[in-house]
Amino acid sequence: MKTNDSEKLRAKMEITRASLDQKSIVANLLELYTHDFSEFLDLEIGLDGRFGYRELDIYWTEPGRFPFLLYVSKRPAGFALIKAMPRDSPGPMLWDMMEFFILRGYRGRGIATAAAHELWRRFPGGWQVRVMAANAPAYRF
């Protein structure tokens, strides 16, 4: 893809906090995310054909947790699940990027970088971003 095309896609990117009505969109994207991870981890799919994500509901019920959907041209393109980190002392807030996913069709186009930077601007302070060493593409990102 040409640089100009990537710039156009990034210009059409929107990050919104996922509403409770959009939880099923996040859940569907989590299935794709988990499927991608099954390349690196021994993950077992359920009898219903889904991997599931046990802690998804708490992003709408527990304080300090924030679910986001990423759209490109008004279509779902990824998600981020963010959690406030407990602090023992005063100082800048600490945040954890619990989960971050961009659909394969949008990877390598600067969408993930633009999305991460936008979220870091929205949540100022320190950040923890963990990457599994075996996940070479994410590690390079």
What backbone phi and psi angles, to 5 degrees, belong to 88? -95, -15
Q: Does residue 1 carry a pLDDT above 60?
A: no
Instruction: Write the pLDDT tens digit of every residue in 54-75.
Output: 899 999 999 999 999 999 999 9
What helix, strand, coil percent values describe the chain, rounded to 5? 35, 25, 40
Give me the chain's average pLDDT, please. Answer: 85
Higher pLDDT, 53 or 69: 69
Domain that holds residue 49: 3-140
Q: What is the mean pLDDT of residues 116-123?
A: 94
Total number of domains constituting the chain: 1
Q: Does residue 40 carry a pLDDT above 80?
A: no
> Residue 43 to residues 25, 38, 68: CA-CA distances in angstroms?
21, 5, 24
CATH number of 66's domain: 3.40.630.30
In whole angstroms, what is the distance from residue 56 CA to residue 125 CA? 24
Q: Does residue 89 carry a pLDDT above 50?
A: yes
Describe the crossing of helices 3-11 and 111-122 by its angle, rounded to 10 degrees.
40
Tokens representing 99 are: 């989960």
Rg (C-alpha) for the chain, rounded Å, is 16
Query: 126 forms bridges with which residues in the sheet?
Result: 94
| DSSP-H helix ranges across 51-131 | 111-122
